[in-house]
Amino acid sequence: MQVRPVIACVSLLAGALVALSGTPAQAASTTQYVSPTGTDSAAGTQSAPTTLATAISRIAPGGTIYLRGGTYNYSSTITIPAGSNGTSSARTNLSAYPGEKPVLNFSAQSESSSNRGLQLNANYWHLYGLTVERAGDNGIYVGGSNNVIERTVTRYNRDTGLQLGRISSSTPSSQWPSNNLIVSAESHDNADSDGEDADGFAAKLTTGTGNVFRYAVSHNNIDDGWDLYTKTDTGAIGPVTIEYSLSYNNGTLSNGTVNANGDRNGYKLGGDDIAVNHVVQHSIAYRNGKHGFTYNSNPGKMTISNNVSVDNAQRNFAFDVGTHVYRNNTSCRYSVSGSNDKTIGDADSSNQFWTGTNGSRCSSYSGALGWSFASDGHLAVTFGGKVVTP
């Protein structure tokens, strides 16, 4: 006799949820499938795919959302909200379906700081195999921590392609994004209208400790390849590691467009005379529009090791202040004569900073990434057996 009222209450609650949402309430799912033609009310199975926003709201911690191939056209930001976390032992996955290429296209957005593409504010997620393009601001913005962003392409966005930063102005520094790994990612042809802010990758202004970029390629962005800028208003960021990465032709888009307002560096490593001890190793800067590697007023003790900088327009290495440590770096010029490199700090004989035009020496050097020059000065770089040819 006491069971019926409980059952009735549950039935009424379920009915109310259906009335409010328009679709039956569903338990969290361990697997969801999404396609460009999916619908919110669909179950999220292979035969009945749903939408990305709905899949995000349904997925259980540690589950997987598969994006089928094709173009997804959006006019507003897709957000993975804070609190929708995976776990340290089982990240939640947002992944391209095996063998397929999903493209998230935000070309319907106007250029505005409020018009990001894909925004990851949760912790312990793994994004894999996505292309995000033409957003009104950042292509991918990471405000959460302990995430892995792998094999993504961010292109033609109207601010930095992939950027790390705090979720909101009220986020305390203890909760700034930390321990994120960006691996085997590419970012190119990102350009804002004034030419001053659209980099390939950025961990700047409001980022915590432990963020790493590895096997990443940044090229043909209107501003810098990497930007680790700091400013007095927000103070120091956590040290960032960039390793086994490549930055080339930044400052000039693939179609030849140049904006004089752009800084045009390969790796920009500071700002506002704030000391942060970044680590940059086993990386290459090639033919960027200003400097290859630059301290950009960072007076700290950065570790700059096993890097190669070739034919950047001004300095290959530009470090005017600090106690930075330089080991096993190479600076040379193939098609541009002269050198005005500067390395303030601890630089020993393991570095090779050649002056003049020294193509034969460039050609004879074999860096950690694997690279070589053709007879016309063309650079070929190998990442894990794949050749990238600027």
Report CA-CA distances (Å) from 248 to 19, 213, 217: 55, 16, 8
66 beta partners: 33, 95
Residue from 204, 268, 290, 386 carrying the catalytic annotation: 268
Instruction: Name the DSSP class of 231.
Output: B
Number of Cβ atoms within 10 Å of the Cβ of 70: 13
CA distance 137 to 160: 7
Report CA-CA distances (Å) from 52 to 39, 48, 90: 9, 13, 20
Q: What is the CA radius of gyration of the chain?
A: 23
Number of Cβ atoms within 10 Å of the Cβ of 115: 20
Is the Cβ–Cβ distance between 196 and 261 less than 8 Å? yes
Is the Cβ–Cβ distance between 67 and 130 less than 8 Å? yes
Active site includes 204? Answer: no
Tokens 């961990």 correspond to: 203
Tokens 């601890």 correspond to: 346
Is the Cβ–Cβ distance between 278 and 238 less than 8 Å? no
3-state class (DSSP) for residue 358: coil
Q: What angle do CA 356, 360, 363 make, to 5 degrees?
A: 120
CA distance 44 to 268: 43
Number of Cβ atoms within 10 Å of the Cβ of 338: 8
**Residues forming the active site:** 268
